[in-house]
């Protein structure tokens, strides 16, 4: 079981770089960031770009893996994203993982739409995501030239020489819970990402959440079988913070970041479901990700040892 963290891009770099270096010092396997234009309760505060932040983090660190969790078609085109990713992979020396998902329908999902234009429907999101992943895979694995014509995205003799440092390309961690997304994870992913079932966050129990996640794992197994893959070959990543265990109303002392013991219990129960990586949010005071920094750092250093 690996332990990673998410560092939201809310800090000016003079301060932010200290956090990325601290994450490496504490031994986290990877440090990710959100690829949004802004996000929920942080919408009126500082928020910096994901790729420039990760590029800066690559120069400030030496060994920790870096990545998005997640990038989506909401704000990206595969051709320009591919160029940025091969550059980031080069700057980092091959330490990049692309977390990628279909995207949500939050306020920033409509930022690029014209006035009066309808937001994408769930079906259109799935259609776009399918093309997005397919084209991005081709762009990153065929650096000499890629031509593609889809309903939403196209590429005309796009070149990405010299390609990724990681071969045949940098790994994809595909966030998905629906059937079409899970098939993309099975076909293109080196890892699969879930946050659990969001419907259970407010009123569900920890046990109900684990049951729902176990059901997602079963569906992933079936999707992999369709493509002749063993689901055990995919890393399974749980992005925490969105299950009932983390709800502010959960009993104090039992939330996973309340103590090392609580975290180890939480992580161990999900390891039993087949998860290979747990991702926790770097603490942010006065937010949904508030946590005791000292306890958090003890979890980072002691938790993985206890899980082993």
Assign residue 7 the CATH number of its domain. 3.20.20.30
Cα 264 to chain centroid, rounded: 21
pTM recorded for the entire structure? 0.96
What mean pLDDT is predicted for residues 192-206?
Answer: 96
Q: What's the pLDDT tens digit per position in 183-193?
A: 999 999 999 99
Confidence at 133, pLDDT banded by 50, 70, 90: very high
Confidence at 60, pLDDT banded by 50, 70, 90: very high
Under a CB-based contact definition with an 8 Å cutoff, are residues 173 and 99 in contact?
yes
Confidence at 291, pLDDT banded by 50, 70, 90: very high
Question: What is the domain range of residue 117?
Answer: 2-307
Residue 257: its pLDDT value, please?
97
| Structural domains in the chain (count) | 1
Which residues lie below 8 Å from residue 190, measured CB to CB, with a gap of 6+?
97, 171, 172, 173, 234, 235
The position carrying tokens 């309760």 is: 41
Q: What's the pLDDT tens digit per position in 70-98?
A: 999 999 999 999 999 999 999 999 999 99
Q: What's the pLDDT tens digit per position in 9-20?
A: 999 999 999 999
d(CA 185, CA 146) in angstroms, rounded, equals 22
């Amino acid at each position: 079981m690996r332990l990673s963290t998410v560092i939201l891009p809310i800090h000016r770099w003079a301060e932010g770089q200290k956090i990325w270096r601290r994450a490496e010092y504490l031994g986290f396997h990877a440090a990710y960031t959100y690829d949004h234009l802004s996000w929920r309760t942080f919408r009126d505060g500082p928020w910096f770009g994901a790729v420039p932040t990760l590029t800066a983090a690559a120069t400030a660190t030496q060994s920790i893996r870096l990545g998005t969790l997640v990038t989506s078609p909401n704000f990206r085109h595969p051709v320009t994203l591919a160029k940025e990713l091969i550059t980031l992979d080069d700057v980092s020396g091959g330490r990049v993982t692309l977390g990628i998902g279909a995207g949500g329908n939050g306020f920033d999902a409509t930022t690029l739409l014209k006035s009066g234009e309808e937001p994408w429907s769930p079906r259109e999101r799935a259609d776009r995501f399918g093309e997005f992943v397919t084209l991005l895979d081709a762009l990153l694995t065929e650096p000499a030239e890629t031509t593609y014509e889809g309903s939403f995205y196209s590429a005309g003799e796009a070149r990405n020489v010299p390609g990724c440092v990681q071969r045949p390309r940098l790994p994809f961690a595909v966030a998905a819970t629906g059937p079409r997304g899970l098939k993309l994870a099975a076909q293109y992913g080196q890892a699969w990402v879930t946050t659990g079932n969001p419907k259970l966050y407010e009123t569900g129990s920890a046990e109900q959440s684990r049951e729902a996640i176990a059901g997602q794992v079963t569906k992933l197994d079936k999707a992999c079988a369709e493509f002749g893959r063993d689901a055990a070959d995919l890393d399974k990543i749980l992005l925490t913070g969105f299950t009932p265990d983390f709800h502010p109303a959960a009993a104090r002392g039992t939330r996973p970041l309340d103590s090392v013991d609580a975290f180890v219990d939480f992580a161990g129960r999900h390891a039993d479901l087949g998860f290979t990586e747990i991702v926790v949010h770097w603490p942010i005071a006065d937010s949904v990700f508030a946590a005791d920094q000292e306890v958090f750092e003890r979890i980072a250093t002691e938790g993985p040892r206890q899980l082993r």
